[in-house]
Structure 1
Amino acid sequence: MEIKDNSTGQDYNPFEHRNVKKPNSDIRSLANLIKASLGSGLLAIPLAFANSGWALGIVCTVVIAFICCHCVYIFVETSHGCCRVVRKPLLGYAETCKVAFEVGPKQIRPYAKWASIFAEFSLVFTYVGVCCIFTVLIADSVKQIFDRYVTTVDLPVEYYCLILLVPLCLMCQIRYLKWLAPFSLLANILLVATFAICLYYIFKDEINFADKKLVGDGARFPVFLSTVIFAMEGMGVVMPVENSMKKPQHFLGCRGVLVIAMTLIMILYTTLGLFGYFRYGDALRGSITLNLPIDDWPAICAKVFIALSILFTYPLHFYVVLDIFTKYTEPHIKENYRSITQVVARIAVVCFSGGIGIALPMLEQIINIVGAFFYSILGLIIPGIIETVFRWENLGKYNWILWKNILIVIFGLGSLVSGCTVTVFDIIEKFNSKME
């Protein structure tokens, strides 16, 4: 489609032309969006505070929440602008990147296709990584319970990852976001219950503040960044959620679905991160539920709840990977074979993600790698570049949009390089300690 330089499409309202199959209400969309950013990330936040120190953790969590929310906001707003230009009712994540390059400065227009490919590459690998994290987290929780109450069974966590592939394959056969919404709602309820139980154990006894650091070791701060970025970001799910809304105009704005979701997420993260660190200190593990006692029924319920919550969340993140797969394969597959192809592909991707979790069952390190590398690209670097490219002819007074996005991209690159470097050294150290 040829796009003229002066084609702004201001007379075209994409919302009026959307015909979404099984659209979601604002409440369901809010549930999906919150669930996309909650889960293993919420429970890993106390460990992040242990790396940063509690005072620096509070400040930086609020700042990162604002940055992540802003990046989602500008990307969705850019997507709406691209829809008006090409006169399409909706665009996905990679399609938005492609159109932004097509209408951007003439020098970069030939790279529009590559921008789309890079965006989809980032999406696929990000959410494959998330699926690996979910597999290991569920396996860790189940293993703790079995090790305590089924003493005749003593299996390494890798075997639990393997067993989990069966229910995960079944869950991932759900194909529509509308049908996933009840699971997301149930997962949110279980997560809130887990959150409440964690708070119960945190405040059960007197908390000792004396030995807790205001500011942690500077060498561990990149790990804090990686964990919080992983926890906050849900960029890959944002466009599917927004595109499936019955009233997409309610997504942005001061009282929109996005701002409400990110505000709740920021409050939950800051609360659990701060007091979780105060309670358990440097003994924190990749998920705070793994620090809870194994002999108390509330703690056992929390471990079961988080395992079920992540199980119900898994298909929502998995949806992103299959959405891209379907886009490229469906036109080349006969209609009679599309259903069986979907079934086989879903099983194959679940097994691939599980295989990575089995090969590297290190929850903290996988979280840090996914947060530092993939989410920095997906949620920070790409939105900053795409808004700049799309608005190249109108970057505001003194080009403030350009300078603002340069800072966002630098922040994303800094998080990527520093987080990956520290995490790789952590993985090497763990392997060396196992071999000794």
Structure 2
Amino acid sequence: MENMNNVEAKENVQDDYNPYEHREVEKPSSDLRSTANLIKASLGSGLLAGPLAFSNAGWGIGIVGTLFVGFLCGHCIHILVKTSRGCCKIERKPLLDYAQTCKSAFENGPKWCRPYAQAASIFAEFALVSTYVGVCCIYTVLISDSIKQLVDRYVPSVILPVEYYCLIFLIPLCILCQIKYLKWLAIFSVMANIFLFATYLICLYYIFGSPLDISDKKVVGDPARFPAFISTVIFAMEGIGVVMPVENAMKKPQNFLGCPSVLLVAMAAIVFFYSTLGLFGYFRYGDILRGSITLNLPMDDWPAICAKIFIALSIFFTYPLQFFVVFDIFQKYTDSYVKDNYKSLTFVVARIIGVCFCVGIGIALPLLEQIINLVGACFYSILGLIIPAVVETVFRWQRLGNFNWVFWKNLLIFLFGVGSLISGCTVTILDILEILRRKTE
């Protein structure tokens, strides 16, 4: 009876408070800009790794798996945002970020989980930082790989390892990452989306340039490679770390969920682009694919050259959006300790140090395919699947629906996330060890 009274009291509080009416956002973003940011947060190097993912799974499993993972990722974003809104109403706060949502859900959940609220928040912050540092490392390597191919081909007198190109892009990345507001980053996201779409069209131009022969293409691939497929798809579909900053910065946040909505439009576009390029890219290039399909394009044609330049520019302009998540967490914990007179200089230096750290890791581990799989398997599985499932279950503990369907649904998502994490990391680590073994022979 006491639990039921608590639930009714919370529902009454939620009905009385509308967080949107109390939300004051500096430089709010429109629905269009928010959609652009959300699409760009997911689509990038992951899109171009789609054909490689299909070669691991086979084209039949690839199509079904892509649709399934796309739906699952969209659903997890939906329940995270919905839970965050419920927590805002209970806490009577205008907005909460990812970690604050986790903490609030545990604090307002059943008694047995309340002592773990602070631990849930810390774990979420750690997962966010780890994920987006990994993404920034991948972006550094992808930009450098694309430019290195062009320089090696057209300036043969200058042959430099990919690590040198990472260092060359260090300064422009440091400058670009000084942008402070998502509204301004949306301009670069739109530019990045245009370059990415142009690259997508050029890839289709080469894919359909001659008749496709699918007779030797696998419908079902080697089951041992399925974890690598799932890891790559999760990496490509997930942009959940950017979701709460994007939703919190919207001029009309009520338009983020629903039908039609920012989330629905963004996820539909992401699934369409990924599945079409993955499927037809595999049909064209088979099992000889590299980490990014642009690395398989011919080096002597101008369209292919443009594609390599466009993808480098697209990833370059996306980099500050991914880095925004990392720095936002850093700023949240340090802002109160820095005097107002020194904040601007301190945060400029901090952004430079952060970019240098990410580039340094990229230099140390320039294995593009393996880093993509590892980030997708480990970090995005935790951030995009496991945490949202746990948080919604805890928050709705007294309202799990008929036959506790919310609990069983989230348990399946949790198990899928854990399975993806373990199997994906295992396969990727074995791949890395095999590559290192070959280099030492």
Give the TM-score category using the shorter length.
Answer: over 0.9
Among 99, 115, 118, the alignment partner of 1:113 is 118
Question: What 5-or-longer segments of structure 1 have no aligned partner?
Answer: none
Deviations 1:110-152 (A, max 9, x none): 1111100000000001000000000000000000000001111
- Mapped to 2, the partners of 1:211 and 1:420 lie a distance apart of 29
- Mapped to 2, the partners of 1:290 and 1:254 lie a distance apart of 38
Tell me which amino acid in the other structure corresponds to 2:78: Y
- Mapped to 2, the partners of 1:7 and 1:224 lie a distance apart of 42
Partner of 1:156: 161
Question: Secondary structure of the equivalent of 1:64?
Answer: helix
Question: Secondary structure of the equivalent of 2:221?
Answer: coil
Deviations 1:285-331 (A, max 9, x none): 10000000011000000000000000000000100000000000010
Partner of 2:416: 411
Say if 2:367 is the partner of 1:362. Answer: yes
Say if 2:43 is the partner of 1:38. Answer: yes
How far 1:184 moved relative to its partner?
0.4
Partner of 2:188: 183
Say if 2:10 is the partner of 1:7. Answer: yes
Q: How many residues are paired up?
A: 433
Among 250, 263, 278, the alignment partner of 1:245 is 250
Partner of 2:286: 281
Partner of 1:317: 322
RMSD of aligned C-alpha atoms? 0.7
Tell me which amino acid in the other structure corresponds to 1:174: I
- Mapped to 2, the partners of 1:197 and 1:360 lie a distance apart of 29
TM-score where L is the length of structure 1: 0.99
- Mapped to 2, the partners of 1:245 and 1:203 lie a distance apart of 40
TM-score where L is the length of structure 2: 0.97
Aligned pairs for 1:161-310 (under 5 A) are: 161-310=166-315
- Mapped to 1, the partners of 2:75 and 2:339 lie a distance apart of 42
Tell me which amino acid in the other structure corresponds to 1:138: I
Tell me which amino acid in the other structure corresponds to 1:199: L
Tell me which amino acid in the other structure corresponds to 1:155: L
Say if 2:51 is the partner of 1:65. Answer: no
- Mapped to 2, the partners of 1:339 and 1:90 lie a distance apart of 25
Partner of 1:135: 140
Question: Secondary structure of the equivalent of 2:24?
Answer: coil
Deviations 1:225-250 (A, max 9, x none): 00000000000000000000000000
Runs of 4+ in structure 1 deviating by more than 4 angstroms, as ranges, are none
Deviations 1:367-389 (A, max 9, x none): 00000000000000000000000
- Mapped to 2, the partners of 1:419 and 1:254 lie a distance apart of 33
Tell me which amino acid in the other structure corresponds to 2:56: N
| Greater mean deviation of Cα atoms: 175-184 or 7-16 | 7-16
Tell me which amino acid in the other structure corresponds to 1:75: L
How far 1:7 moved relative to its partner?
2.7
- Mapped to 2, the partners of 1:107 and 1:297 lie a distance apart of 63
- Mapped to 2, the partners of 1:7 and 1:201 lie a distance apart of 57
- Mapped to 1, the partners of 2:50 and 2:352 lie a distance apart of 31
Aligned pairs for 1:318-357 (under 5 A) are: 318-357=323-362
Question: Secondary structure of the equivalent of 1:187?
Answer: helix
Deviations 1:372-421 (A, max 9, x none): 00000000000000000000000000000000000000000000000000
Partner of 2:398: 393
- Mapped to 1, the partners of 2:225 and 2:302 lie a distance apart of 34
Question: What 5-or-longer segments of structure 2 have no aligned partner?
Answer: 1-5
Partner of 2:3: none
Tell me which amino acid in the other structure corresponds to 1:394: R
